[in-house]
Each structure stands twice: as C-alpha cells, then as structure tokens.
Amino acid sequence: MDEGLRLHHSKEEMRIILSRKGFDSSSGGVPSPIFPDGRMLSLPIPDRLSRIAYADISGNRWAGMGEAVSQLAGIPPTHRAHLDPDLVCDRFPRSEGWRPIFGQVGSAEGHLRKQRVCKGDIFLFFGLFRKVEQAIDGWRYVRNSNPMHVLFGWLQIAERVSVSAWPVTDHWALYHPHFAREPHKSNVIYISTERLTLTQRECKGIAGAGVFPFFSPLLRLTAPKSDRPGLWLLPQWFYPKPRKSALSFHGDISRWKKSSSGTMLSSVSRGQEFVLDCDDYPEAVGWLGDLFNSPAASG
C-alpha cells in the first residue's frame, strides 16, 4: 500500500473531488454524446501510448465506442484510447480480480496529495456532453443544443498505489494506460471500494464505483439554458463564505454569486481535480446521499 493512504480521515471526515474527464474542446475536440433516450457515453480521450483501441471498448445499446468517436469526432476506431477512469466491468475484457480504477499523474496528482485526498474520499467524474440524434450517415449533434458539464460517474477510494510500487503479481490492472507511462511516485492508481459508504447516510446496494447511465437534471453542473458549459448552477450551500475553505482552484470569491435558484459559479477553464472538504461543507454528504439514492444512480 502506498504511503499516501496513511493519511486516514476521522470518522466523519470526507472529501469530494469533482474530476474533469473525457472528451472536450481540447482533448477529442467534441463533447461526449447524450443519446435520444438520455443514455450517456463518456468518450475516453485519445492516447497513443495506450494498449487499448476505441474499437476494443464497448458502448451502449445505441453505439459502440469506436462507432461513436468515428462518427462524432472523425477519429478512427483503431486509434488508441485512454480508458480512464475505468468504471464498468463489461466495457473491456477483464482479468480475474479486476476492480474499477482511476489513474492520475503529475501536477494534478500533486494537487490531490496537497488536498490530502485518501481512503474514503469520493471522485465525482464530470465531462462535456451534448445531445445527439441519428442521421443518414450516422450520429450527429442536435442542432442548437448546448454542450454542458454533466456528472457521469463516481469512485470511492479504497487504496492509492504508485505505479512504481504496484505488486508484480497483480496482473489484472496492467492493461490500464498509466502502466504504459513512467513508473514514478506521482503516477498513481486509485482503486475503488466494493460498496459505497457515506457517513450518517445509507446507500444500500450502491457499488463503490460506476456510471450514471442516464442524463438527469441532478447530474447537470452547467446552468440551465446557458451556452457557457463552465457557468455552473450549484446548491446554495456551495457558496464559500463564511466557511474556512472553498472548492479548490475556486477561492476567488468573484467567481461565486448567490441566486434564488442556487449558487452560480464561473468555473476555471483549466485544472482537472477540484476538491471540496466535507468537514467544512457537511451539507455535501446529504447531497451525495440524495444523488446516489435517486434514479440517476440506477437508471
């Protein structure tokens, strides 16, 4: 076990990490699709070092991953994909012992360490999504539909292990793209818990990692009708004053504005991992509970 997991939380302490992943304007070039029945499919970013091709990754009842990236982004299905976070068992052929995992490296991992992210904390993965429809030549984006930031998956941390310290006998994870990179201490793998556990809130039968299969307003971060994906409408309790901390990378109070419908946030355009300390924001645990006990978590 990596030394980072010696930073155990107290019984009531937990952190939420809003983690930006998947296709966007800079990686992949287009949003991930929301299909006609509301099903979402997060498209992994291209990665020439990966051992996995888009065509190797399953999609959903509407489209395979190779088909989706080819028709929406013009990327060949044979191109290599960064399958990370890897949250769904049947998305790719597995070795015995597989568990959902997520890799991070470099400055983004340094930020997670600085924020003392460790066992029990929960990643909420979000990405850029847009509605699609079928045309004669395949899938296309719905005209006049706006791209938006949407939560699409989660992972609660059971272990944090450096790639350089990975047990040589644990072959089940070696397909993951982070094992094709330099095995230094800042290149790490986060492994999920078997079941989701929240302090003071029961989440029966919820896996420690997974995807939200269908779009729901509960999952939408972008303010309704906004043509700026980075303009978020969050619950009112997200407003940082007079609390001790703010969502990391968002300490500038001018980015925040209270409204009758919630708290508006002009989110930063750079950065991957935004950390919220639930010790400062106890309402966050109830918000998570409502999210995971809603139809959004089960489809």
The answer for residues whose C-beta is within 8 angstroms of residue 292's C-beta and 6 or more apart is 154, 196, 198, 203, 206
Spatial contact of 188 and 160, defined as CB atoms under 8 Å apart: yes
Q: Is the pLDDT of residue 273 over 90?
A: yes
- pLDDT for 260 equals 86
User: Domains of the chain: which residue ranges?
Assistant: 3-298
Give per-residue pLDDT as tens, 45-87: 999 999 999 999 999 999 999 999 999 999 999 999 999 999 9
Please state, in angstroms and rounded to a whole number, the distance separating the CA atoms of residues 112 and 106: 10
The answer for residues whose C-beta is within 8 angstroms of residue 15's C-beta and 6 or more apart is 9, 115, 116, 117, 121, 122, 275, 276, 277, 278
Tell me the one-letter amino acid at 209.
A
Give per-residue pLDDT as tens, 206-219: 899 999 999 999 99
- pLDDT for 281 equals 96
Q: Is the pLDDT of residue 34 over 70?
A: yes
CA distances from 266 to 18, 24, 111 (A): 15, 17, 20
| Token duo for residue 114 | 């600085």
Q: Which of 230, 234, 227, 222 is nearest to 291 (CA)?
A: 234
- pLDDT for 200 equals 54
- pLDDT for 271 equals 87
Give per-residue pLDDT as tens, 120-138: 999 999 999 999 999 998 9
Beta pairing, strands 101-104 & 15-20? unpaired
Please state, in angstroms and rounded to a whole number, the distance separating the CA atoms of residues 30 and 45: 10
Spatial contact of 289 and 296, defined as CB atoms under 8 Å apart: no
Question: Cis before residue 177, ω within 30 degrees of 0?
Answer: no
pLDDT bin (cut points 50, 70, 90) of residue 168 is confident
Q: Is the pLDDT of residue 4 over 50?
A: no
Q: Is the pLDDT of residue 9 over 80?
A: no
Q: Which of 58, 68, 71, 62 is nearest to 39 (CA)?
A: 62
Give per-residue pLDDT as tens, 236-248: 999 999 999 999 9
- pLDDT for 270 equals 83
Q: Which of 42, 240, 248, 246 is nearest to 154 (CA)?
A: 42
pLDDT bin (cut points 50, 70, 90) of residue 198 is confident
Give per-residue pLDDT as tens, 174-188: 999 999 877 777 899
- pLDDT for 201 equals 57
Host H or E run for residue 288:
helix 283-292
- pLDDT for 202 equals 56
pLDDT bin (cut points 50, 70, 90) of residue 92 is very high
Host H or E run for residue 123:
strand 122-135
